[in-house]
Structure 1
């Protein structure tokens, strides 16, 4: 029986571990031999999702130090499975002992009990955001592979609460220059004030993460069930806090006419040009070579200090105020998680596409 902890077909990740267990980690399979890789390469990415970096993330202090324990020798991948482990050093399981008897609104407590008849209530166990460490570690390797063929991902917070960035002030260098992953520095102070007000009132908010993929080749994606947009949506939707994914115009397309939504073509000096990119770089489930644009909707943090109504295992209606260490907003730390899952999906689809036509096979084995 599969427990749904694996993703990918040609380039795969399998995450493991619980929020308050001894460690969390990932096994990556399908990585080619000869890729330069060190623990520092993984650490750079893990530091982007590390807790305790600002007042807008959980105060849980963890080093999140990555240890590569297989699949790398003398600084290069060997072509065998790569195992990465990160030890949990700052568990406070007693903070969660109370929730063993009731179900937190917005969490997977109820559904885990319904499915298994048992759950690890310490921080949510497998449903905890800490599971994403394995995804980010796997994404670090995927991004190194993509960088070898000049595919670039740019991911950031587009909207936090009801405050969106101004595209006229977009600055890629600002994304990791503030605690909110906003590419518009003029919005940082306004968003910070909004979040501080929410924290003061024991509340939280969500937002939208946007990912742009540049230099992606055409032809990625299979025509029916394994379409590129479907695979991207599945991988990003598998992140616990994500409640919606759109490509290009996405849900906006539903209110447009065909004349407004279609991307027109023309030739300029024998080069095919798309006049617009409403499709977000994917048609018929296959990349067309233009920029791929993906957006993910992130729900508000469900663990809030405000009083909430719920029930306990004794079938009593109760009011609760959740204790523990929680992010008042998930969006900033989820940015690197979304980017990692997109990267993993792209590498998987790139590897699966290598046998799509005989020319590719001839180039590999005859040239």
Structure 2
């Protein structure tokens, strides 16, 4: 499927080395102010070629809105947006067009469809995530009107973990680091891997502040389940934690339960979600990215005919996909929240009466 969401949904299209990528966002309420400069600023945070910690591929990622907006406001009809690719080097992949690149989706795409776009991975490329960031920017514009804030940053690179989280400094960091005390060590780890023609994994932290109580459906569309689905759908993500996450498995109930006071919850082991619904506390989600599979070290593989060969990659790749991936994770969280906000409008009869009576 290429569509995500139920009420606030989006569909992406395009390939890494095709003419363009883009998305169609449906379900946006009419009358929402659409700030194109804000949408572009979100794409600029994710775009490649900005520094030595990212791929050298240069893309302007200039967004163009094709429909659904009139005189700066959403019309209630689908908002279509497109980003034209500017810096493809498809020739870099000619030598591996019949090879299965280790760690990539080439193997599964070929066996599922019997055909694959070898130019940078085609549809499976992380290039597609620029369209998700564009859609996520629309979701953020909606959330902003309701004072719901979604933010993200890097909390670990190659096992070097942040000791504290400061979201205010993320925009000033080349790797979106949350902790200044470990940022230089994290940067050094990325460059060490890059210089060795290798890559390194990392962890992004996504936080939602100001979400109202009750977002999420009781059984099959829970907030935490939907966040996990959204994050696991991002290229290279291999794990997701909500709140205490994996650590809760070694705690006792007396330690993991969040006491409730008149002022709110005493702790937040739940990550702001109870029974699949937001509880009014800060929503926290850690997203674990594997090392970039595109490395410049000879690797054993086979081709489409089963011949054993050596894979030697060329091209331009991120030494740590977690860095730019954190922006994508933030966008996906915004899309989840926007979808559930609209779904929640019909949760009880009193809310319907306020609209229609």
Task: Place the TM-score, normalised by the shorter chain, in its bin.
Answer: over 0.9
Q: How does 1:70-219 map to 2 (within 5 A)?
A: 70-167=67-164, 170-219=165-214
Cα distance in 2 between the residues matched to 1:338 and 1:196: 23
Offset of residue 41 of structure 1 = 2.1
Query: Per-residue displacement from partner, 1:185-241 (whole Å, max 9, x unpaired)?
Result: 222211121122111211111111111111110011111111111111111111111
Number of aligned positions between the proteins = 357
Cα distance in 2 between the residues matched to 1:223 and 1:57: 40
Offset of residue 72 of structure 1 = 0.6
Equivalent pair of 2:157/2:189 in contact (CA under 8 Å): no
**Secondary structure of 2:97 counterpart:** helix
Query: Per-residue displacement from partner, 1:32-76 (whole Å, max 9, x unpaired)?
Result: 111111432211100001100011111111111000010011111
Matched, 1:326 2:321: no
TM-score w.r.t. the length of structure 1 is 0.95
Q: How does 1:226-305 map to 2 (within 5 A)?
A: 226-267=221-262, 271=263, 273-305=264-296
**Secondary structure of 2:346 counterpart:** coil
Cα distance in 2 between the residues matched to 1:196 and 1:235: 29
2:298 paired residue number = 307
Cα distance in 2 between the residues matched to 1:39 and 1:231: 28
Offset of residue 84 of structure 1 = 0.3
**Secondary structure of 1:48 counterpart:** helix
1:338 paired residue number = 329
**Secondary structure of 2:192 counterpart:** helix
Equivalent pair of 2:99/2:311 in contact (CA under 8 Å): no
Q: 1:67 aligns with which of 64, 68, 74?
A: 64
Cα distance in 2 between the residues matched to 1:360 and 1:236: 31
Q: 1:52 aligns with which of 39, 49, 52?
A: 49
TM-score w.r.t. the length of structure 2 is 0.98
Cα distance in 2 between the residues matched to 1:51 and 1:84: 19
Matched, 1:347 2:331: no
Equivalent pair of 2:155/2:179 in contact (CA under 8 Å): no
Offset of residue 311 of structure 1 = 1.1
Cα distance in 2 between the residues matched to 1:193 and 1:138: 33
Cα distance in 2 between the residues matched to 1:161 and 1:145: 35
**Secondary structure of 2:131 counterpart:** helix
Query: Per-residue displacement from partner, 1:89-140 (whole Å, max 9, x unpaired)?
Result: 1111110111111100110000000100000010001100110011000000
Q: How does 1:19-38 map to 2 (within 5 A)?
A: 19-38=16-35
Segments of structure 1 that go 5 or more residues without pairing to the other structure are: none
Query: Per-residue displacement from partner, 1:239-283 (whole Å, max 9, x unpaired)?
Result: 11111111011111111111111112233xxx5x32111111111
| Worse-superposed segment, 184-193 or 99-108 | 184-193
| Worse-superposed segment, 132-141 or 37-46 | 37-46
Q: 1:38 to 1:276 in 2, by over 3 A?
A: closer
Q: 1:275 to 1:67 in 2, by over 3 A?
A: same
Cα distance in 1 between the residues matched to 2:91 and 2:189: 31
Cα distance in 1 between the residues matched to 2:38 and 2:192: 37
Equivalent pair of 2:232/2:238 in contact (CA under 8 Å): yes
**Secondary structure of 1:278 counterpart:** coil
